[in-house]
Amino acid sequence: MRAGDGGNGAVAFRREKYVPKGGPAGGDGGDGGSVVLVVDEGLSTLLDFRYRTEYRAPSGENGATKDMYGRGGDDLVLRVPPGTQVFEDATSRLLADLRTADQRFVIARGGHGGRGNIHFATSTDRAPRRSEPGRPGQERVIRLELRLLADVGLLGFPNVGKSSLITRISAARPKVADYPFTTLVPHLGVVRLSGERSLVVADVPGLIEGAHEGAGLGHRFLRHLERTHLLVHMLEVSAVPGRTPLRDYAILRRELRLHDEALAKRPELVVLNKIDMPESRKKLATLRRSFKKKGLRVLGVSTVTGEGLAELLELIWHSLHPARAEDPVPPPPRPATRPTTKRQV
């Protein structure tokens, strides 16, 4: 990101009939434009920045004769989706956390225009022949990361029914199929409850053992869970051979802890899916007792028949209130305001 340079101040003189010695008439250079990031709620990805990686704001114009100031460069406004984090590429230092609509952050500030010789006249030097050059604009190499903003994060192994659940409870339509890693990108769904209540649910692609090191679809999607207030573990009552719901839960907890210790301490719920299958109902009571020993309440649902979904949504809603009281996302750095620009003629 490169801001515009300030324009140079001008050296010029008046030639007036009734002014014997004339005088300085060189105007100031205009300020360079800044590069500004603005949150646009209509955007959901950073795809535009994938194909263009260099941005430069226009520079200010040079000052001119007859006390004319140069025109300032317009700011280059780049729109980003809510949830965008801005990092300094060299140090990975967080510069801004852009979450609310129309939130602005000046990522590279334009250079100030140089002063013309009208500012250097004195009683002993009525016709100064010096001016200031414009200052260069800031140049920064940054990294943009998008982390979804959602109240609830759904996580689990591939094909446990996360996409089917979000399809049943919201208008989101992720791909649903009977093979692993059907969901390749996170999906957001707005869930409407009675009494004008609503919440946002994020469907994160399936996780497997070693996800914190990049296995499967890896930690690229684990980080999206960092912005959620409540985690919902989706497990299958009848897991595939070699897996059990308890073991799957332990693996998911371990991946969360290895990715981010704070994430593992987030409030959570455990949901056992596919209870519509005959053999599953026999195992449900036993599994509930096993999870209860760990201090966890388990809710059985079926994304096929819809059984248990209404109870699940109410449980999520009531679990969110204490979770929202402690925001897991730190407040964003407060950007400095742009100094007042000079009046242009």
pLDDT tens for each residue of 8-61: 888 888 877 776 567 888 899 999 999 999 998 877 778 788 788 899 999 999
Residues 301 and 157 both lie in one domain = yes
Helical axes 309-325 vs 162-169, angle rounded to 10°: 90
Q: Residue 4: is its pLDDT beyond 80?
A: yes
| Extended strands (E) in 52-184 | 76-80, 84-88, 94-98, 104-108, 142-146, 152-156
Both 292 and 209 in one domain: the answer is: yes
126 lies in which domain range? 1-146
324 vs 28: which has the higher pLDDT: 28
The answer to whether position 345 is within a domain reads no
HSE, side-chain direction, 13 A CA sphere, residue 298: 24
Contact (CB, 8 A) for 324 and 316: no
Q: Is residue 208 part of a domain?
A: yes
> Same domain for 280 and 213?
yes
Same domain, 214 and 273: yes
**Is 336 among the domain residues?**
no
Q: Please determine, for residue 334, whether its predicted confidence score (pLDDT) is greater than 80.
A: no
CA end-to-end distance (rounded Å), the chain: 29
The pLDDT score that the predictor gives to residue 207 is 67
Per DSSP, the three-state class of 232 is strand
Q: Does 111 share its domain with 215?
A: no
Length of the chain equals 345
Beta strands in the chain (DSSP E): 13-14, 23-24, 35-39, 76-80, 84-88, 94-98, 104-108, 142-146, 152-156, 187-193, 197-203, 230-236, 268-273, 298-300
**What gap in Å lies between CA 74 and CA 59, rounded to an integer?**
8
- Same-domain status, 121 and 168: no
Residue 235 domain-assigned (yes or no): yes
Domain contains 330: no
167 and 99 in a common domain: no
* 112 in Cβ contact with 134 (< 8 Å): yes
The token duo for 61 is: 């114009």
Is residue 334, in this structure, part of any structural domain at all?
no
Model pTM above 0.75: no
Return the CATH number at 265: 3.40.50.300
Number of domains in the chain: 2
Distance of alpha carbon 19 from alpha carbon 223, whole angstroms: 71
- Which pLDDT belongs to residue 208? 56
If asked whether residues 94 and 177 sit together in one domain, one would say no
For 184-219, write each residue's pLDDT tens digit.
Answer: 466 777 888 887 788 888 887 766 555 445 444 545
Instruction: Give the pLDDT score at 221.
Output: 62
Q: Which stretch of 254-263, 293-302, 324-333 has the lowest confidence by average pLDDT? A: 324-333
With a pLDDT cut of 90, the percent of the chain lying above it is: 17
Cβ contact 36:60 at 8 Å: no
Structure tokens, 277? 């299958």
Mean of the pLDDT values across residues 255-278? 84
Residue 80 lies in a domain: yes
Q: Is the pLDDT of residue 111 over 60?
A: yes
For residue 108, what are its two tokens? 């590279």
Q: Where are the alpha helices (H) located in the chain, listed in sequence order?
A: 48-51, 162-169, 219-222, 245-259, 261-264, 278-292, 309-325
